[in-house]
Structure 1
Amino acid sequence: MNAATLPLPTLRWRRPLPGFGLSLGLGLAWLSLVVLLPLAALTIKAAGLGAEGWLRAIQDPRVQASLKLSFSAAFFAAVFASVVGALVAWVIVRYRFPGRRLLDALVDLPFALPTAVAGIALTAIYSANGWVGRWLEPMGLKIAYAPAGIVIALIFIGLPFAVRTVQPVLEALGREQEEAAASLGASRFTTLRRVVLPELLPALLTGFSLAFARGLGEYGSVIFIAGNLPYKTEIAPLLITIRLEEYDYNGAIAIAALLLAASFVCLLAINAIPSLFAHERRERGRD
């Protein structure tokens, strides 16, 4: 038997990471230490309050005012961020112009910028002596130290979520369907309503959910521009800090648990939206 007829050694493909069991164990260990254990501790503490403790904490008018402000501001900011984010994503994907790459990079700026810096900058712009506020306040439009300033701060931190969820869908969509609709005589509005929006709707809802969940727990960019007036511009995350400083741990736990539950519902919605739309498309295909 010569060298040419010798069987080649069997090469075993090796994964760059260790086996499934070890990788899964390490991943779950770190996830438990960083995420699951703190959330479990908060859930256990909240469950230990009992119905009476919950009612006592939630029926406080100051708590109700802060929760109402946080939820309403996060909702309106998420709606606005979803609409504007879709427009920004459309411009970045569909057009080529000088500064396009810079605009694409600026979308991620709120992710990299410390939220406290963003809050200070927004306050400097929209305060009574700021660049924009000095022109708006004489007309009766108060932004800084008002609910409107809170909404603007939440739009600032929520806009990247809306852009980055819609952008890959637009890139994958291409222009073939739009050109086909135009060749069949469809108007621009009909093409937008019947062709583009149905494809973007899951991404729009996902971006809205992400922006809403982020807005509920936002702290740094809001406290500077809000003014933090009880019953008027005091957000729920700030009230948690105040309750802790007052040694009212039950009150802080109750507010934190409500925000956690709302964020968990948003997380479930984010994961359920693609499945629901995929199921609907399958049903339409069968029909």
Structure 2
Amino acid sequence: MTASRRSSAHVLPGFRLTLGYTLLYLSLIVLIPLAAVFIKTAQGGWEHFWWSVSSPRVLASLRLSFGASLIAAAINAVFGLLLAWSLVRYRFPGRKIVDSLVDLPFALPTAVAGIALTAIYAPKGWVGSLAAAHDIKIAFTPWGVLLALVFIGLPFVVRTVQPVLEDLETELEEAAASLGAHRWQIFRYVIFPTLLPALLTGFALSFARAVGEYGSVIFIAGNIPMVSEIAPLMIITKLEQFDYAGATSLAVVMLLASFALLFVINSLQAWSARRIGRKI
């Protein structure tokens, strides 16, 4: 047993060489590009940074991007859980097709997704025309932005929660039922605590994808200043104006805000895992 463990531990090169390659890879792919963003922002000075990120148009785009991303991630957390539950716990005709369609936003080019959503929800589209008859406008409004972010973020929640549901022991639910617990109590005290870390992870992944989404949003958003203009589009606009320091300033704000929120979510996930471990 000891020899087997030692041989399996040394299948890859030694620890120092493996760690060196890992740090080099992370530095080239992640750390150096992120450091370059901060360095470029610092070259413009504090005054230019504050001027770039505090204009009303930029603030409106940040509010829309982060607000819509949070709402979309929360919606996906609820309905993604329901979809994962249906796929794992029930057998119905077309289940495999539905399971395959969940991955469609992963494979579909973002521009194609944006054009498809616009064609359906525009005032002359299939759904948009029905909504327009009741004076409801979806495309070219913040509602269109929210719709696109829900579309691209749903698979992250489903694919994160689904394996946990599949591994969940139904004997615990049966034991709780035999002790007199009703369905809501079983879900609240037995199922949900186990699913919570995975659900938070799916929420974080969905949020992170939504904040930086560009291709599927710009078509249905309409890109109206102060109304439906997202922060990634503002970065592109500043780059087209050769305001590189302004673009990196906005990128730094988005990066720090995303890191802060992801840190909070990961802390909640770790706390939830520890609490479940103590109970077990």
Q: TM-score, normalised by structure 1?
A: 0.89
The answer to whether the Cα contact below 8 Å between 2:68 and 2:146 also exists between their aligned partners in 1 is yes
- Answer yes or no: is 1:239 the counterpart of 2:234: yes
1:127-142 alignment to 2 at 5 Å?
127-142=122-137
What amino acid maps onto 1:184 in structure 2?
A: L
What amino acid maps onto 2:133 in structure 1?
A: P
Runs of 4+ residues over 6 Å off in structure 1: none
Equivalent in the alignment of 1:154? 149
Report the CA distance between 1:248 and its aligned residue: 1.8
Report the CA distance between 1:15 and its aligned residue: 5.0
Cα distance in structure 1, aligned partners of 2:234 and 2:225: 9
- Answer yes or no: is 1:126 the counterpart of 2:149: no
Equivalent in the alignment of 2:184? 189
- Answer yes or no: is 1:112 the counterpart of 2:107: yes
* Residues 82 and 179 (structure 1), Cα distance of their counterparts in 2 relative to 1, 3 Å cut: same
Equivalent in the alignment of 2:3? none
Cα distance in structure 2, aligned partners of 1:13 and 1:139: 65
Report the CA distance between 1:270 and its aligned residue: 5.0
SS in 1 for 2:242: coil
Equivalent in the alignment of 1:176? 171
Equivalent in the alignment of 2:258? 263
Equivalent in the alignment of 1:52? 47
Equivalent in the alignment of 1:92? 87
Cα distance in structure 2, aligned partners of 1:130 and 1:16: 57
Greater shift after overlay, 48-57 or 200-209?
A: 48-57
Cα distance in structure 2, aligned partners of 1:38 and 1:177: 48
Cα distance in structure 1, aligned partners of 2:66 and 2:96: 34
The answer to whether the Cα contact below 8 Å between 1:93 and 1:170 also exists between their aligned partners in 2 is yes
The answer to whether the Cα contact below 8 Å between 1:89 and 1:167 also exists between their aligned partners in 2 is yes
Correspondence for 1:275 among 270, 274, 277: 270
Q: How many residues align?
A: 275
Equivalent in the alignment of 1:251? 246
Report the CA distance between 1:254 and its aligned residue: 1.3
What amino acid maps onto 2:160 in structure 1?
A: T
Unmatched runs of 5 consecutive residues or more in structure 2:
1-6
The answer to whether the Cα contact below 8 Å between 1:210 and 1:266 also exists between their aligned partners in 2 is no
Identity across matched positions, percent: 57
SS in 2 for 1:218: coil
Cα distance in structure 2, aligned partners of 1:219 and 1:256: 14
What amino acid maps onto 2:50 in structure 1?
A: L
Report the CA distance between 1:25 and its aligned residue: 2.5
SS in 2 for 1:231: coil
Cα distance in structure 2, aligned partners of 1:99 and 1:29: 46
Report the CA distance between 1:99 and its aligned residue: 2.1
Equivalent in the alignment of 2:65? 70
Q: TM-score, normalised by structure 2?
A: 0.91
Report the CA distance between 1:38 and its aligned residue: 0.7
Greater shift after overlay, 18-27 or 75-84?
A: 18-27
The answer to whether the Cα contact below 8 Å between 2:114 and 2:216 also exists between their aligned partners in 1 is yes
Report the CA distance between 1:283 and its aligned residue: 4.8
Cα distance in structure 1, aligned partners of 2:166 and 2:149: 27
